[in-house]
Chains A and B, each alone.
Chain A
Amino acid sequence: EVQLVESGGGLVKPGSSLKLSCVASGFTFSSYGMHWIRQAPKKGLEWIALIYYDSSNKYYADSVKGRFTISRDNSKNTLYLEMNSLRSEDTAMYYCAKGDNYWGQGVMVTVSS
């Protein structure tokens, strides 16, 4: 059974940093591209980043480019999202996803003074 478990969220102040993790199981993690998607409270879904299976390519939404970094450690079956210079508008539930078909339960990030 595919499982994706996010962690690392919390309440932080504007301008600070946070690193999210997503531990994968139930599939060959090193064979799949992975995404981060977020959902602001009471809002729709926003794709924010993609990393290829071998980390050879990374893509970002304009809203996070230059501030967020996606990475992975295939030896640990773990996906990461390093978030710097956080803003109030980054407040959201953050989901990792395997392709389009499996999503984690999400982790909440709140940016507030």
Chain B
Amino acid sequence: DVVMTQTPPSLSVAIGQSVSISCKSSQSLVASDKNTYLNWLLQSPGRSPKRLIYQVSKLDSGVPDRFSGSGSEKDFTLKISRVEAEDLGVYYCLQGTHLPRTFGGGTKLELK
């Protein structure tokens, strides 16, 4: 199975600060169709997860452009510029290239 290593496990931030979350996979996530199926999800407190970014860097509809994704092959990053209160929660990376699908362990974003 592909292991997704997500760091850091937690982040304490002030509103307006920028943060980055790393996700590294044990295998390349480039699929046979040349796409890279790496997603970023946010689980706000008490809510089900919501996808923010798919295929490394494509923002889902309605997601603010303060969020950006980058990376390739086995090394990926989610950046949040100018954190707002609504951004707090747990972020997960999810690879969809290989079965079984696997998630990173999560990064809890909290207010400083």
Which chain A residues have a beta carbon within 8 Å of chain B's beta carbons? 35, 44-47, 50, 59-62, 95, 100-101, 103-106
The reply to whether B49 and A103 contact each other, CB–CB distance below 8 Å, is: yes
B side interface size, CB within 8 A: 20
The reply to whether A100 and B96 contact each other, CB–CB distance below 8 Å, is: yes
The reply to whether B100 and A47 contact each other, CB–CB distance below 8 Å, is: yes
Give CA–CA (A95, B92) in the complex, Å.
Answer: 15
The reply to whether B50 and A47 contact each other, CB–CB distance below 8 Å, is: no
Measured between C-beta atoms, what is the minimum distance from A7 to chain B in Å?
Answer: 15
Q: Known A-B contacts: A44-B104, A105-B48. Give 18 more (CB < 8 A).
A: A44-B92, A44-B103, A44-B105, A47-B101, A47-B102, A47-B103, A50-B101, A59-B100, A60-B100, A95-B48, A95-B49, A100-B51, A100-B54, A100-B94, A101-B51, A101-B60, A103-B49, A104-B48
Binary flags per residue of B89-112, CB closer than 8 Å to A gives 1, else 0: 000101010011111111000000
The reply to whether B48 and A100 contact each other, CB–CB distance below 8 Å, is: no
Q: Choose one: B49, B96, B100; the contact of A45 (CB below 8 Å).
A: B49
- With a CB–CB cut-off of 8 A, which chain A residues contact B100? 47, 59-62
Give CA–CA (A105, B50) in the complex, Å.
Answer: 11
Give CA–CA (A103, B47) in the complex, Å.
Answer: 10
